[in-house]
Structure 1
Amino acid sequence: MSAPLLDIRRIYCEPAAAALPRGQAILARFPAVERIEVASHWRIPELREAEPEEYLRPKREVLVLGVKKGLAFRPNGRSADFIAPSTSNGCAMACAYCYVARRKGHANPITVFANIEQILAATARHAAQQGPKREPNQVDPDAWVYDLGENGDLSVDALISDNVRDLVALFRSLPHAKGSFATKGVTPALLDYDPQGRTRIRMSLMPPGMAKLLDVRTAPIAERIAFIPELHRAGYELHLNFSPVVLHEGWEAEWTALFAELDAVLPAAVKQQLAAEIIMLTHNEALHEVNLAWHPRAEDLLWRPDIQEEKRSEAGGVNLRYRTGWKGRWLSRFQALLAQHMPYCRVRYAF
């Protein structure tokens, strides 16, 4: 029997978070665990000094409670129109390619922000300021779409608090806006949130063999696919997130098989509204070094200097992307396979 995704044994908590109603509710869910007061959810030496080989333990056993201080909204134009202030940071999952900043320490366990009322109010104000969407774009033809889970997976967050339920309820009430988040989880509680079409879930998928190696501590691909019709019946808009596309010998056959499975499982009602985003792998030199300590087999697929080239990030880090020219041809080939096997699936964004 596999270990549970969460087995919280220690909570690092800012006093301000513990004083808020949401913080108190979270602490009440874990009454017997060790609590350690911290001045800042970003600065926790015990997490930064963890052994690299102990990458998974803190993701399973540690929870951090904090207060979200910056409530800025960033324009996006890819997966969403705007990136909303996050209600969490970090993740209990351990995808080997994850780009989320590891500012709390190399494992970056979940931080839940307790000032949910402030985040909700800021989001409602921002959406009201936009008014109706004047022109359709590739994000959505009618609504302003807000990405809610840039720094984690809200399906996991829903196991910890009612923050996700509150977000879904907010967008149910906003006439010109939708919420959106990508997930690799299967959380039945989401089915009771009554989104009424105002929250878009982007189910992240890749071939099962690849996911078994790279999507560590996530729901199996077959379970994610089976959950899609349930989410749609519960009132969510469902899109697919083919990300990352990791190139290796035999990738075309693997993705073709995945498309065939989706075509067989998805009901007509899902297919009629289906869209997808396609994102080719970008890897990172610092993450490569972390992975070598705890999951070196993943790097056989992710770190491919023979078909990748370096590109400096805005922060100065060394990223590896598939080589210019080749990447475009491979992306075109991927889109052609998708169109052949799932012609009803509109590609909303590809990079």
Structure 2
Amino acid sequence: MPDPAPVPEKKTPDLVDVTRIYYEPAAAELPRGRQVLERWPEATRVPVESHWRIPELHGDEANVDRWVRIKREALVLGIKKSLQARPNGRSADFIAPSTANGCAMACAYCYVPRRKGYSNPITVFANIEQITGYLARHVARQGTKPEPNQCDPVSWVYDLGENSDCSVDAEISDNVDDLVTLFRGLPTAKASFATKHVNPRLLTLDPRGRTRVRFSLMPARVAKLLDIRTSPVAERLAALDDFAAAGYEVHVNLSPVVVHEGWLPLWAELLDQLGDATNAATKAQLQAEVIFLTHEENLHRVNLGWHPKAEDLLWRPALQETKRSQSGGLNVRYRARDKARYLDQLLGLISERAPYLRVRYAF
């Protein structure tokens, strides 16, 4: 494995230092939109017709030179117009309508930039009351879950952060607060989101077991190269007991699993660290998802312009095969036969080093 390369430095210790807010006028009129605008009163405000069409942010490959700067300094306010809870069945029963899109972090393998193109900073959807109302009605229509599945044995599970990181979103607005509050009062459903950011403010939200937080983990040496602008892996591990004690259901995502020379010993070390970091109460409810790397050709080309060292691990033609995505993009993933072998090796390692950890989903 190559040594981690230096990554672009932040001007401030914060993930965001907003200097420019692009807003749909209708979003700025809503209470949540006003909250966000008032938080950064000195930021330049730029009205836009649509959060999807902002040429200086989206769809311009030249923005690769400003990848991290855009994520730190730009923020978008919009209205979520299409409200739909899509069936999933893997990690969650349903994918909830997004309350945000984009991310201030810059993981080198992230699929979110494919949606709007390139840097894709955070868009906050201001019509939160409309979104939570839709979700409450959708949950009510499902009734009681008829039988257990890999998502949950009792509750319908709704993934909240398909196109964002909810822990980061909670640094920007109260949308995540409202979602945790909503699911706290829904006895037949749970919220769920994956995160690479430790946000201590979430510990105050009193989820009462109705929100599942899945902390994404990978060996620290690999994360230093690929998980740009995220909380260090050691910090994520240290947060597990705190979040469990605060009333969250705490799981871990072993994701993405990146295959390289010497990868299994690094995962063995991480599993030992996981055991050392968690108490008996956390271990008793800890479950895992295991997701191997899928990468994408266009993102590969973008990464070569701002963080090429990451591609030494992510783009491995000798190990990978191609597949067209539903959107028509060219994805690469480990060859099926080899991936099955890698998965067996990792699951065997989990059984040996972390026998308390039930793997709920592996892909």
Under a length normalisation based on structure 1, what TM-score does the superposition of the two structures give?
A: 0.99
Residue number in structure 2 paired with 1:92: 104
> What residue ranges of structure 2 are gaps of 5+ in the alignment?
1-8
Counterpart CA distance in 2 for 1:341 and 1:30 is: 47
Post-superposition offset of 1:101: 4.3
Q: Do the aligned partners of 1:80 and 1:180 also contact (CA within 8 Å) in 2?
A: yes
Counterpart CA distance in 1 for 2:300 and 2:85 is: 30
| 2:331 counterpart SS class | strand
Q: Do the aligned partners of 1:276 and 1:349 also contact (CA within 8 Å) in 2?
A: yes
- Evaluate the alpha carbon distance shift between residue 305 and residue 333 of structure 1 in structure 2; reply closer, same or farther with a 3 A threshold: same
Residue number in structure 1 paired with 2:164: 152
- Aligned to 1:123, which of 115, 118, 135? 135
Equivalent residue pairs, number: 351
The reply on whether 1:34 has 2:62 as its aligned counterpart is no
The letter for the 2-side match of 1:237 is: E
| 2:56 counterpart SS class | helix
Q: Do the aligned partners of 1:204 and 1:240 also contact (CA within 8 Å) in 2?
A: yes
- Aligned to 1:140, which of 133, 136, 152? 152
Counterpart CA distance in 1 for 2:113 and 2:260 is: 26
The letter for the 2-side match of 1:25 is: Q
The letter for the 2-side match of 1:24 is: R
Residue number in structure 2 paired with 1:18: 28
> What residue ranges of structure 1 are gaps of 5+ in the alignment?
none
| 1:92 counterpart SS class | coil
- Residue deviations 1:275-304 (CA, integer Å, cap 9, x gap): 100000001001101100000000000000
Which of structure 1's runs of 4+ aligned residues deviate more than 4 A? none
The letter for the 1-side match of 2:154 is: D
Identical columns (%): 63
RMSD value over aligned CA atoms?
A: 1.0
Counterpart CA distance in 2 for 1:32 and 1:100 is: 29
Post-superposition offset of 1:45: 1.0
The reply on whether 1:66 has 2:78 as its aligned counterpart is yes
Residue number in structure 1 paired with 2:188: 176
- The equivalences for 1:1-351 within 5 A come to 3=12, 4-48=14-58, 49=60, 50-351=62-363
Q: Do the aligned partners of 1:41 and 1:104 also contact (CA within 8 Å) in 2?
A: no
Q: Do the aligned partners of 1:14 and 1:66 also contact (CA within 8 Å) in 2?
A: yes
Counterpart CA distance in 2 for 1:266 and 1:325 is: 34
Post-superposition offset of 1:315: 1.6
Under a length normalisation based on structure 2, what TM-score does the superposition of the two structures give?
A: 0.95
| 2:49 counterpart SS class | coil
| 2:316 counterpart SS class | coil
The letter for the 1-side match of 2:40 is: F
Counterpart CA distance in 2 for 1:140 and 1:104 is: 32
The letter for the 1-side match of 2:278 is: L
| 2:171 counterpart SS class | coil
Post-superposition offset of 1:103: 4.1
Q: Do the aligned partners of 1:44 and 1:104 also contact (CA within 8 Å) in 2?
A: no
The letter for the 1-side match of 2:80 is: K
Post-superposition offset of 1:33: 0.6
Q: Do the aligned partners of 1:263 and 1:342 also contact (CA within 8 Å) in 2?
A: yes
| 1:51 counterpart SS class | helix
